[in-house]
Structure 1
Amino acid sequence: MITHVVFDFDGTLADSKEAAIKLYNELAEKNGYGLLTADNLAKMRELSIFDRCKQLGVAPYKLPWLVVQLTRNFRQAMQSIEFNEGIPELLKELRARGLKLMILSSNDEGNIRAFLRRHSAEEWVDEIYCSSSIFGKARLLRALMKRAGLTPDQLVYVGDEHRDVQACKEVGVRIIAVRWGVDADVRLREAGPNHIADRPAEIAECVSRWSTAA
């Protein structure tokens, strides 16, 4: 029986893509990296993280530093970032059904809590798990399940990247990938999630269908 829905934050819940691009480009200009532009963004969304780094001239060993810098700079940006359309209604519906909601993210917990407070949404989320490692979600999912005493069949994860799907497959958790986030549809399909959602309402429909099937 599904009892918990775990969400990625950036791109999935929060419409933070524009802020992330702006913050990345500010760092890129200072450090001599390639910029994200209207001309290359669509192609970048189809590439793996390491291929994006190659295209932008970012050495892979610089990725952890870049993530830390972007996360730090997100603190001010949180004042202007909104939920993706339909997400507040989705969260309220899932809560009304008695489901527990969690966030698992490579963003900073302080940033996420500031966002939730600004939107009067703190009470909607039961737990927040964060790691600065962009490839650490499988480990975080295992830690989440151990801490909450959950089995994989009790969770559904909702994310927007190829790496989210890989992490869920590694730990045996069903995943709904969303088309409105970071990775393009072709990247999501390559990863093979359990479902790809075009709109937030589909997430509630999936959870309901899978719960009934169980």
Structure 2
Amino acid sequence: TIADTLRILIKIINRLADEFAYNKIRMHDLHYIKSMRTRDILAYLNIPVLKLPFIIRRIRMEMNKEIPMLKPSVNIKPTLEALNDEGYKIGILTTNASSNVRTFLKNNDLELFDFIRSTHHLLAKHLILKKIKRSYCYHHNSNPSQSMIFYVGDEVRDIEAGKKAGVKTIAVSWGFNSRDALLAERPDYIIDRPEELEYIAKALPIGYR
């Protein structure tokens, strides 16, 4: 959603393909892949679920080497600054290593987040989201059903995770999955530019910070 990782991620996945005995991503299939769910992508690559934790661990290690070259996917800094100025708490939930994320943020002058949560479980983001939601409700003395937490993501699995966790979802069209694939998951919002996040925030009732 923030970092332009797609090209580097494909390079790493293909680099590790022989070692872990799965299929490489063919660039002419990329448009097709961008319309897939995570489990369909794993099937396309012929990656058994049992191998997934080991592959993710290696991808994290390889990604660490690529961090100096990573740039933001869009000009999101003005939006982050505006949300901070309005008092919103902003965090990152990622399957990348927290150390990689912190290095990227520092390198690109984007140290504007209140927290970073990392999980190596590709399909378990909803569990971390539920913990974040419980913490938010506890500190704000609010009803979980009325909590105003938004999960912003560029993948189908992000929207799925948000719905499982019972939080609002905002899909962004500038990342991994295609706009049509994201729309099929029926997110609460879908946006094409970072500044649209500000419009959504400004429409919230006073007190949701």
The answer on whether the counterparts of 2:89 and 2:114 sit within 8 Å (CA) in structure 1 is yes
Measure, in 2, the Cα distance between the counterparts of 1:183 and 1:145.
25
Question: Aligned residue pairs: how many?
Answer: 202
Partner of 1:196: 190
Q: Match for residue 53 of structure 1?
A: 42
TM normalised by structure 2 equals: 0.89
Q: Does residue 177 of structure 1 match 2:171?
A: yes
Other structure's SS at 1:183 match: coil
Give the aligned partner of residue 164 of structure 1: 158
Q: Match of 1:37, as an amino acid?
A: R
SS of structure 1 residue aligned to 2:90: strand
| SS at structure 2 position matched to 1:13 | coil
Aligned-residue offset at 1:109: 0.5
Letter in 1 for 2:49: P
Identity, % of aligned pairs? 27
Contact 2:92–2:116 under 8 Å retained in 1: yes
Which residues of 2 match residues 75-86 of structure 1 at below 5 A? Answer: 75-86=64-75
How far apart are residue 184 of structure 1 and its match?
1.4
Per the alignment, residue 25 of structure 2 pairs with 36
Counterpart position of 1:8:
none
Is the CA contact 2:23–2:46 (under 8 Å) kept in the aligned structure 1? yes
Structure 1 residue runs of 5 or longer lacking an equivalent are 1-11
CA contact (8 A) 2:38 2:156 kept: no
Answer yes or no: is the 8 Å Cα contact 2:35–2:180 preserved in 1. yes
Q: CA RMSD in A?
A: 1.9
What does residue range 1-214 of structure 1 map to in structure 2 within 5 Å? 12-122=1-111, 124-148=112-136, 149=139, 151=144, 153-211=147-205
SS at structure 1 position matched to 2:27: coil
| Contact 1:45–1:182 (8 Å) recurs in 2 | yes
Cα 1:36–1:100, aligned 2, differ >3 Å: closer, same or farther?
A: same
Q: What is the identity, as a one-letter code, of the residue corresponding to 2:126?
A: A
C-alpha contact (below 8 Å) 2:126/2:164 kept by paired residues: yes
Alpha-carbon distance between aligned partners in 2 of 1:37 and 1:180, rounded to the nearest angstrom: 21
Q: What amino acid does structure 1 have at the position aligned with 2:181?
A: R
The amino acid of 2:86's aligned partner reads: R
Of 27-36 and 185-194, deviating more is 27-36
